[in-house]
A and B are shown apart, each in its own frame.
Chain A
Amino acid sequence: MSGLPDRKEAQVKQLLEGPYPVVPTGLAAGAAARGDRLLRRRRALRRFGWAVLFAAAVAFAVWASLTRPWAGPPTGISPPLEGW
């Protein structure tokens, strides 16, 4: 901790200080309106995603119950008949 860099930084800090600029009126209201829009869009997107996921699950269930991919094809060959 040397004093020289601190002094230099203090000079720059002084340069940065200054009166705050005038805040435009209606900044909060405008930002809130845009934030609301952002939220609504986000919510709609999420709802859409869930709807797509649900539709895909239903489609898969219907397809699976119709084609029954887990039931193998019927074998054409019967086992040899023994022990009569």
Chain B
Amino acid sequence: MRAVDQQAGPYGEFEAFVAGAAGRLLHVAVLLTGEPESARRLLADALARTYANWRRLRADDPYDFTRHELCAAFARTGWRHHGGSGVLARLSPPERLVVVLRLYEGLAEEVTAAQLGMPVERVRVLCNRAVSLLRSREAA
């Protein structure tokens, strides 16, 4: 909140928000893409859209908005990020999204399903498959 005191107005608020949330959001992006460079680009795009909508999302949580933009952008371009070298390298893009939203961000199944635009059943199936895949890799 220090930045808000220093510089009032939307930019000050936005700067304070980025200072607080960018680390975690970048971690989410790196988990999704598996490569730091495209993760940075994904996050920068999402943050730009958050700033463009800053006045309109007064009541909403900017963190949720940015994560939503990030995940939507990844879902659109996910096929480009097959592979990578991250922890989730062996998972498909939808599996990565479900694992990150459900297990890392701790969203409920219903919320994850709504955000990704898929039935709850599918979220459950993807999550279970991803968990068993990750555990089998860990055991090997």
Contacts and interface: CB of A to CB of B under 8 A. Distances in A.
B54 interface: yes
A12 B48 CA distance: 31
Dominant secondary structure of chain B at its interface with chain A: helix
Describe A's contact surface by its main secondary structure: helix
Contact of B26 (A5, A23, A31, A39): A23
Interface of B: 11, 14-15, 18-19, 22-24, 26-27, 30-31, 36, 39-40, 43-44, 47-52, 54, 87, 99-100, 103-104, 128, 130-132, 134-135, 138
Given A24-B40, A31-B50, A38-B49, A12 B22 contact: no
A11 B135 contact: yes
B44 A27 contact: yes
